């Protein structure tokens, strides 16, 4: 039961992640940065996919999904830099949560759940790298507005699955 409760907690955390990125999408739309908004839109969709992976796994293992309230995310940020700093911080928090689930699975000798969670361990490495890359570009850009529009144009290329349209 402890593992099922922990998986349900993570399902809720993944829903919150989607909700957070959808809020960031709305922020970027409100300041006319459509490329940044596009990136967050697909990030929100990706987090819903993660949610459903937990949902399906709990059901597959004969557990019971328990949907919990989703906390309201912030809806205002000072700049794209602050948004991506918050995004990296959030992804690092999710990494900790996934690692704690792995530790619990190992402690309970729940090998099936451990194997299931390994995909998320790898995914978090990718998430932090992707967000960190954008954050570093924003830091390098400084106050150069032209740089902001170049990054915005690049982020507009993101498509479902997280890859830019040119990479497909």
The predicted-structure confidence for 3-40, as pLDDT tens digits, reads as follows 999 999 999 999 999 999 999 999 999 999 999 999 99
Q: Which CATH number characterizes residue 120's domain?
A: 1.20.1260.10
Give the whole-angstrom CA distance, residue 142 versus residue 81. 9
8 within domain boundaries: yes
Q: Where does the pLDDT of residue 91 fall: very low under 50, low under 70, confident under 90, or very high at 90 and above?
A: very high
Q: Do 135 and 39 touch, CB atoms closer than 8 A?
A: no
pLDDT, mean of residues 122-129: 97
Q: Where does the pLDDT of residue 162 fall: very low under 50, low under 70, confident under 90, or very high at 90 and above?
A: low
pLDDT, mean of residues 56-69: 97
72 within domain boundaries: no
Indicate if the alpha-carbon torsion angle 40, 24, 57, 114 is positive or negative: positive
pLDDT given for residue 143 in this prediction? 80
- Name the packing angle between helices 80-107 and 2-30 (round to 10°): 170
Print the domain residue range for 42: 2-65+77-163
Domain count, the chain: 1
Cα separations in angstroms, 137 against 16, 52, 158 = 26, 32, 16
21 within domain boundaries: yes
């Amino acid at each position: 039961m402890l593992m099922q409760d922990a998986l349900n907690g993570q399902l809720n955390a993944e829903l919150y992640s989607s909700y957070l990125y959808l809020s960031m999408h709305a922020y970027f739309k409100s300041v006319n940065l459509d490329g940044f908004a596009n990136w967050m839109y697909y990030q929100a969709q990706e987090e819903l996919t993660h949610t459903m992976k937990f949902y399906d796994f709990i059901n597959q293992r004969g557990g019971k999904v328990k949907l919990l309230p989703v906390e309201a995310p912030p809806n205002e940020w000072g700049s794209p830099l602050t948004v991506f700093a918050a995004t990296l911080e959030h992804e690092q928090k999710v990494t900790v949560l996934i690692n704690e689930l792995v530790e619990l699975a190992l402690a309970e000798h729940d090998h099936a759940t451990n194997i299931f969670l390994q995909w998320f361990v790898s995914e978090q490495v990718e998430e932090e790298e992707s967000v960190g890359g954008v954050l570093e570009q924003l830091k390098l850009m400084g106050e150069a507005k032209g740089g902001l529009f170049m990054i915005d144009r690049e982020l507009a290329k993101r498509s479902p699955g997280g890859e830019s349209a040119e990479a497909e």
